[in-house]
Amino acid sequence: MNELIRNAQSSVAHTSLDPQDWSEFRTLAHRMLDDAIEGIANVRARPVWQPIPDAARAAFRADVPHEASELAEVYREFVAHVAPYATGNVHPGFMGWVHGGGTAVGMIAEMLAAGLNANLGGRDHMPIEVERQIVDWMRRLFAFPDSASGIFVTGTSMANLMAVLVARTAALGTLARQHGIGNDGAVLTAYTSQAAHGCVSRAMDIAGLGTDALRRIGVDADHRIDVAALRAQITVDREVGFKPFMVVASAGTVDVGAIDDLKAIAELCREEGIWFHVDGAFGALAIFSPELAPLLGGIELADSIALDFHKWGQVPYDAGFLLVRDGDQHRQAFAQPAAYLRREARGLAAGAIWPCDLGPDLSRGFRALKTWFTLKTFGIDRLGATITRSCALAKYLEARVLAEPRLELLAPVNLNIVCFRYHADDAVNREIVADIHESGIAAPSSTTLDGRFAIRAAIVNHRTEEADIDALLGAVLEFGGRRCGDGVIEVEAPPLAAQ
């Protein structure tokens, strides 16, 4: 027996993945951290984005690494082939899509979370209390009751899907989780605007209800859902035997940042007995800003809200969030008993409601820590000021577009998104966007409004200043002039406004 034990001990010796030399590791780790901080501190010294060379792509076509490599060598590969070719949303010139810029504070918090390596699926440990703290803060900010529940997820796409599942369970009862949606589920219908994010349609697909069950309602001149048309469609659907069960309103549409009339939708949903969900991916965090929060009037009446801290909240990716008014209904959609998840009265397995009761994931990272660090370090007021500032910059960009005869504004500026174009056809404007990306000057995105290609500037990064707006406009005019045969146009940037 002793021989068997010795053989077993010998076979598992020296398999720890800890460094053999902690001092050497510490030196390299400090260098990595210094480099990361330097990259953020001097972000303006590099392009917003640059094309990936063939050699960098080729470096990631290597065989499976069976043999060990020195950490320093792996880091050299990262420095050479990964870091220079990232998305670029840390840069103040990044105005594409709706990507937050992150912070050095959030980066450090992410490192600390990795050191703890906590699984926030359940059990009784302090990281879960950190997440519960943020849930409580969000309850208070959105004036939800104490019985409300919340959970961190990857992003609003997942949060919207989970909201559909909660609303579906509320409409069909918990037995639908066992027996399927059946005939009753086949007649469920949901509603959103034509300007809503595509993830709402995808959520209906994944939830088994089908994309045809989502009614996409027209919008008004301000790109907000037409509430009268919404009411009429609900009436028609009831008359022919469908069962309306959910309305998804937008607080910041993806194309132009429009906010639906949340109060009117809340009243309609209450009259009709329909679940009222708000997709507030970035716009919901306007609640941080005293100047902008009134635009969200009615959001406090929602049955659920989806949002991303990694957008206007400036938390590093990813940090999505779902808040549900009725915590019992939230749990009924996801909680599932299992022997290996048994809750005990004491010990590590203690605790009543675990996060795995509120969503599909049992293995969950500590997203809450970087959010907690961000909210605690900067405070709601300062974060709200950066949100207000990004909207003021959008107004600055709008004014400059309106003052420039070679440019055309394509949509009203509601929050922080400006859609415009060079006075040329779609093909030219498409090339202008690509030219700007490859120049490294800025990184706008694009969309289509009323059948016309639009250059779309989403101002989200807290580092962005008037000079970055001027650089974007200068690039649009320069590349537009080149594409239209007008030659290179020298644009004199106006002086920065007083801070």
Spatial distance between the Cα atoms of 2 and 207, rounded to a whole number of angstroms: 57
Q: Degrees (nearest 5) of the Cα angle 196, 198, 204?
A: 100
**Which class for 410: exposed (0-12), middle (13-18), buried (19 or more C-beta within 10 A)?**
buried
Q: What confidence score (pLDDT) does residue 69 get?
A: 96
Q: What confidence score (pLDDT) does residue 411 get?
A: 95
In degrees and rounded to multiples of 5, residue 247 shows phi and psi of: -120, 130
Contact (Cβ atoms closer than 8 angstroms) between residue 298 and residue 262: yes
CA distances from 58 to 61, 63, 68, 278 (A): 5, 11, 20, 43
Contact (Cβ atoms closer than 8 angstroms) between residue 330 and residue 166: yes
Task: Put the strands of the sheet holding 443-449 in their side by side order.
Answer: 94-95, 443-449, 452-458, 417-422, 407-409
CA distances from 486 to 350, 401, 423 (A): 71, 19, 12
| Structure tokens that stand for 136 in this block | 């409580």
pLDDT in tens, 68-93: 999 999 999 999 999 999 999 999 99
Spatial distance between the Cα atoms of 212 and 207, rounded to a whole number of angstroms: 12
Paired residues of 84 in beta bridges: none
Task: Give this prediction's pTM.
Answer: 0.94
Find how far residue 77's CA is from the centre of its chain: 29
| Full pLDDT tens readout for the chain, 499 residues | 677 666 666 655 668 999 999 999 999 999 999 999 999 999 999 999 999 999 999 999 999 999 999 999 999 999 999 999 999 999 999 999 999 999 999 999 999 999 999 999 999 999 999 999 999 999 999 999 999 999 999 999 999 999 999 999 999 999 999 999 999 999 999 999 999 999 999 999 999 999 999 999 999 999 999 999 999 999 999 999 999 999 999 999 999 999 999 999 999 999 999 999 999 999 999 999 999 999 999 999 999 999 999 999 999 999 999 999 999 999 999 999 887 788 888 998 888 899 999 999 999 999 999 999 999 999 999 999 999 999 999 999 999 999 999 999 999 999 999 999 999 999 999 999 999 999 999 999 999 999 999 999 999 999 999 999 999 999 999 999 999 987 554 544 433 333 2
| Structure tokens that stand for 141 in this block | 């900010």
Paired residues of 409 in beta bridges: 420
Q: What confidence score (pLDDT) does residue 339 get?
A: 75
Q: What confidence score (pLDDT) does residue 6 get?
A: 67
Which one, of 477, 464, 389, lies nearest residue 95 by Cα? Answer: 464
pLDDT in tens, 156-165: 999 999 999 9
| Structure tokens that stand for 326 in this block | 């009725």
Q: What confidence score (pLDDT) does residue 349 get?
A: 87
Spatial distance between the Cα atoms of 219 and 388, rounded to a whole number of angstroms: 26
